[in-house]
Structure formats: C-alpha cells, structure tokens
Amino acid sequence: MSENVPFTSSQEKIEEEVSLSELNLINPEHNTSLFSSWWTPGETEGQRRLQEFIGRIGNYKNDRKNPADHGTSRLSPHYHFGEVTPFQVWDKVLDESENFKDEGVDHYIFRLATKEYYSYIMFYNPNMADKNIIRKFDKLPWKEDPEYLKLKAWKEGKTGIPIIDAGMRELLGVGYMHNSTRLITSNFLIKGIMCDWRKGQEHFWEHLLDADLPSNSGGWQWSAGTHHDCPRKGVQISNPYLQSIKFDPKGDYIRKWVPELALMPTAHIHDPSEAPKNVLEKAGVEIGVTYPYKIVNHDKVSREARKKWEKIY
Ligand SMILES: Cc1cc2nc3c(=O)[nH]c(=O)nc-3n(C[C@H](O)[C@H](O)[C@H](O)COP(=O)(O)OP(=O)(O)OC[C@H]3O[C@@H](n4cnc5c(N)ncnc54)[C@H](O)[C@@H]3O)c2cc1C
C-alpha cells in the first residue's frame, strides 16, 4: 500500500500513540496473573495438550468428575480457537486407543460428540440462545429486579455456598469452569434464585475462553430443563451441598478458589455456615464477615422451584 494512503498513516498513528493497555482489551474482572499459568494459546500447545491427554485418556471416565483433579482434557479453548479439531482428536484417539481401556476412549468420544450434537440442535433451532426449545416453558415465572443482588453475588462467587463460589471464581480467574461446576452453578442460578437462564448464559459467554454458542445455550437449556432431552427425566434440582461432597470430596477445589475457607476441616467445608462456632474460629472464618451468609435457604427454594416446573410439565 502506498505511503499516502490515509488508512496507512492513521494506522501508524495508532501504533505510535496507543499502548496495548489503553485498548482495554483485558476484562478487569479477570485475575490475569493466573491466565498464563493455565493457558498457552496456539496450535503447538493445543497439539501438545492433546498428546498429553491421550496418555491418560484411559482414566477419563473416572477422573472427569472431580473439578480439583484436572482429569478432563481442558482442550475446549483450543477447539474454540481452531487449534485442535474434533476430527484430529477422533483420528488420534482411535489410532492409539488399543493401548487404553475402551471405557475412557468411548466416554471421551461421546463427550466430543455432545459438542457436535448441540450444533446440530442449534441448526434446527436457530433461536436456541434466546428462546426455550420447548416453548411451554416460556411460562416460567422468572424473578426480575429484586433478585439483582443475588445474580451479582452469583457472578462474583459470593453466594455463601462454597462449591458455587469456587466455580464462579474459577471462571473469573482463568476463563474456564469445570463441567461439574458448570452444571451445579447453572442449576443453582435457575432453580435456586429463579433467574432467567439467559442471564447466566450471557455471563458465561462473556467470560469463557471456550464460549461456544450451541454448547453454551445447550448447557443452559439442559439445566433449565427446557430442551428436548430433559422432560423425560422430570425436574432436575441439584443440591449444591450434596454435589459438593460427591464431586469435591476432600474440598480441594473449594480451598483453591475460595481461599478464605482454606483452613476449614473437610467435614464442614461444604457448608461452613452450619459448622460449630469453635470450628469456625479455629479456621479463622466468620460468616457474614470473612465469608458471606448463604443467599438462599436451599431446601425452601428447591421446593418452590419444583412446584413451578411441575405445574408446566
Ligand atoms: C451451563 C453450561 C455451559 C457450557 N458452555 C460451554 C461452552 O460455551 N463451550 C463449550 O465448549 N462447552 C460448554 N459446556 C460444556 C462443557 O462444560 C465443556 O465443554 C467442558 O467443561 C470443557 O472442558 P474440557 O475440554 O476439559 O472437557 P472434556 O471433559 O475434556 O471434554 C472433551 C470435549 O468434549 C466437549 N464436551 C464435553 N462435555 C460437553 C457438553 N456437556 N456439551 C458440549 N460439549 C461438551 C467439549 O468440546 C470438550 O472440550 C457447557 C456446559 C454447561 C453445563
């Protein structure tokens, strides 16, 4: 391009006068110091991560549920940026699968197919990010403005429910959240505080490195019970305390992302507000001061939510 073309000169001006930080490309809610220890963008790293994962794919079925274990591939951001493709994984996994227990391989391929499945669903439901796939659920009575503070607490990881707070802070910390906590946090937002799933979807979209329109809305509609596969299973309300014990039995994930609870003994870390006073004192935890009060009574809100969904079923 010639030197006199105005575009070139204004571009040079931009390069001279605007620093990277002035462009405000970094979301201030992200703790960017953690990003570089978790992620290295690019095809080379994507392929390296794939190779590393193939070495442990045999254990995938067992290891994939505990968010503290890093048992999943964490390839989703690399899929998102096109640095690894599902076909490459398919070929590699099948080429090398003789060395592994079939269960892990099957399970991984099934998971990968879920991503494609949601794209297929979106092809036939192009409004899936905005509209309930099953339209009778349009009648769900979402709560609006008075619940704003609860939505804010959810987004910031300050609900007073440790497994929820850990997941939401992982999202802000590294632009990723483990699948188990994506399920728990989304179910809680929808059925625990009756917040329209689209608000949660928007927050995930804003912060996930792997943000993918079909998988994100598919995941949210799964938790809301508003897409094809859900009604047959009845209303699904997950209990975050029981899920926490199941998926993070030692509380390691909570300790990592909610450091103010790091000294809580495992028996009480999943629900510190029910811990005896002396246990809290010893762990340096004061509910309402160092760690928030719970924003809802889970038993009460889940009973109410169940009635609302059952009325529509
Ligand atoms: C509410 C909610 C929102 C979600 N939003 C997204 C999103 O925006 N983008 C996204 O890629 N995934 C999304 N998922 C699916 C899933 O949580 C992530 O794909 C997974 O956590 C990525 O981590 P991984 O690569 O270590 O997964 P692995 O367990 O290693 O799985 C391998 C790959 O399979 C695919 N996969 C696995 N589970 C699912 C699933 N349930 N749905 C679709 N694909 C799946 C992903 O491409 C993933 O990389 C969402 C799930 C829920 C419940």
DSSP string, 207-246: H-TT--HHHHHHHHHHHHT-STTSGGG------HHHHHHH
**Arithmetic mean of pLDDT over the chain:** 89
Q: Which residue has the higher pLDDT, 157 or 1?
A: 157
Reply yes or no on whether the pLDDT at 109 is more than 80.
yes
How many Å lie between the centroid of ligand 1 and the Cα of residue 246? 20
- DSSP state letter for 73: -
Q: Could you write out the DSSP letters of every residue in 118-171?
A: HHHHHHH-TTTTTS-SSGGGGG-----GGGHHHHHHHHHT-SS-HHHHHHHHHH
Reply yes or no on whether the pLDDT at 247 is more than 50.
yes
Q: Which burial class, exposed, middle or buried, applies to 309 when counting CB atoms under 10 A from its CB (0-12, 13-18, 19+)? A: buried
How many Å lie between the centroid of ligand 1 and the Cα of residue 163? 19
What is the reported pLDDT for 313? 80
If you average pLDDT over residues 129-154, what whole number do you get? 89
Residue 100 — very low, low, confident or very high, per pLDDT cuts 50/70/90?
low
Q: Global pTM?
A: 0.92
The candidate with the shortest Cα–Cα distance to 81, out of 106, 44, 117, is 44
- DSSP state letter for 292: P
Q: Which residue has the higher pLDDT, 15 or 56?
A: 56
What is the reported pLDDT for 2? 40
What is the reported pLDDT for 211? 97
Beta-bridged to residue 291, according to DSSP, are 287
pLDDT in tens, 199-238: 999 999 999 999 999 999 999 999 999 988 765 556 889 9
For the chain, domains (ranges, CATH) are: 32-124 (1.25.40.80), 133-313 (1.10.579.10)
Whether the CB-CB separation of 78 and 45 falls below 8 Å is answered with yes
If you average pLDDT over residues 65-84, what whole number do you get? 94
How many Å lie between the centroid of ligand 1 and the Cα of residue 280? 36
Whether the CB-CB separation of 224 and 190 falls below 8 Å is answered with yes
Ligand 1 first shell, C-beta below 6 A: 64, 72-76, 79, 111-112, 114-115, 118, 179, 182-183, 186, 204, 208, 210-212, 215-216, 219-220, 223
What is the reported pLDDT for 3? 44
pLDDT in tens, 25-50: 777 766 677 888 899 999 999 999 99
Write out the two tokens for 73.
């591939």
Residue 10 — very low, low, confident or very high, per pLDDT cuts 50/70/90?
low
- Count of CA atoms in the C-beta half-sphere (13 A) of 291: 30
Residue 5 — very low, low, confident or very high, per pLDDT cuts 50/70/90?
very low
Q: How many helices (H) and strands (E) does the chain have?
A: 17, 0
Q: Which residue has the higher pLDDT, 53 or 27?
A: 53
What is the reported pLDDT for 93? 80
How many Å lie between the centroid of ligand 1 and the Cα of residue 3? 48
If you average pLDDT over residues 50-75, what whole number do you get? 91
Query: What span, in angstroms and rounded, lies between the C-alpha atoms of 306 and 313?
Result: 10
* Cα 257 versus chain centre, distance: 14
Write out the two tokens for 41.
């963008």
Output the residue whose Cα is nearest ligand 1's atom 34: 112
Output the residue whose Cα is nearest ligand 1's atom 2: 219
Q: Which residue has the higher pLDDT, 236 or 242?
A: 242
Whether the CB-CB separation of 253 and 173 falls below 8 Å is answered with no
What is the reported pLDDT for 4? 45
Q: Which residue has the higher pLDDT, 148 or 220?
A: 220
